[in-house]
């Protein structure tokens, strides 16, 4: 596990850019798992304002809220189009459908696509409680793409990001922990004091489902980019 210490999120975005650029130049990036949220906005902005060529890259998003349409400003599909997909060309972009009539079938469809394509690199953020994607504390390490119940702490944080008066759903579709760990390379970004507890648990070296981030200790190629002194 490699740590890259930066001074702020802007430097972290540049460090991420350099990793992506190198993987593209060495022809090692054909599939990539993408994350959403405020941490990722400057990351994608750098990609958009660059000459990076993603036309041969297929993407998979980590998660999506249940019950929100893709054209809602609160959906992760909307986020991805606003910040990346409408500005950069990709070979294919796969997104979870939170309005699917059968959510279990939707999860299986997505997991099958993941297994078919594989992931060369997975971008991750981390929640204050150590969740990765929407794999909350207690989620099985064997989990694949599934319907996830969101923790109260996650709802409190994410509701602040919701536009208009739309109510934040308490369920989402999410890649499972084993789905994420199948990626050849993982890059996790964590900025600000609210992420300290999760990273400190990771550094303790004890793998526990109560802190899902700790499962990354069992992966062979993880880079953590953070502005925290640990």
Question: Per the residue annotation, which of 23, 64, 83, 129 is the catalytic one?
Answer: 129
For residue 186, what are its two tokens?
A: 């993982």
Q: Is 102 a catalytic residue?
A: no
Task: Give, as one character, the DSSP assignment of residue 206.
Answer: -
Question: Per the residue annotation, which of 83, 131, 146, 227 is the catalytic one?
Answer: 131
For residue 99, what are its two tokens?
A: 């309005």
Cα–Cα distance between 209 and 139 in angstroms, integer?
Answer: 6
Length of the chain: 230
Q: Is 63 a catalytic residue?
A: yes
Cα–Cα distance between 210 and 23 in angstroms, integer?
Answer: 33
Helix, strand, coil: what percent of the chain each, to 5?
35, 20, 45
Question: Per the residue annotation, which of 23, 61, 63, 106 is the catalytic one?
Answer: 63
Nearest residue to 183 via CA among 56, 47, 12, 31: 31
Question: Per the residue annotation, which of 136, 146, 158, 227 is the catalytic one?
Answer: 136
Q: Is 129 a catalytic residue?
A: yes
For residue 189, what are its two tokens?
A: 């970004």
Cα–Cα distance between 154 and 44 in angstroms, integer?
Answer: 23
Q: Is 219 a catalytic residue?
A: no
Task: Indicate which residues carry an active-site annotation.
Answer: 63, 129, 131, 136
């Amino acid at each position: 596990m490699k740590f890259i210490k930066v001074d702020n999120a802007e430097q972290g975005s540049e460090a991420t850019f350099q990793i992506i650029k190198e993987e593209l130049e060495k022809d090692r990036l054909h599939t990539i798992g993408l994350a959403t949220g405020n941490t990722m906005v400057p990351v994608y902005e750098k990609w958009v304002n660059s000459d990076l060529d993603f036309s041969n890259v297929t993407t998979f998003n980590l998660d999506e809220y249940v019950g929100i349409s893709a054209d809602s400003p609160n959906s992760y599909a909307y986020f991805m189009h606003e910040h990346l997909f409408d500005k950069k060309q990709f070979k294919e972009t796969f997104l979870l459908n939170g309005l699917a009539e059968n959510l279990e079938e939707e999860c299986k469809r997505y997991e099958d696509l993941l297994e078919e394509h594989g992931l060369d690199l997975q971008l991750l953020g981390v929640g204050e409680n150590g969740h990765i994607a929407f794999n909350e504390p207690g989620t099985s390490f064997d989990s694949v793409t599934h319907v996830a119940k969101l923790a109260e702490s996650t709802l409190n944080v994410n509701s602040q990001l919701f536009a208009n008066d739309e109510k934040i759903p308490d369920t989402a579709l999410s890649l499972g922990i084993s789905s994420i760990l199948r990626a050849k390379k993982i890059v996790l970004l964590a900025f600000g004091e609210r992420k300290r507890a999760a990273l400190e648990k990771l550094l303790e070296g004890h793998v526990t489902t109560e802190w899902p981030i700790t499962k990354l200790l069992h992966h062979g190629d993880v880079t953590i980019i953070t502005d925290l002194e640990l």
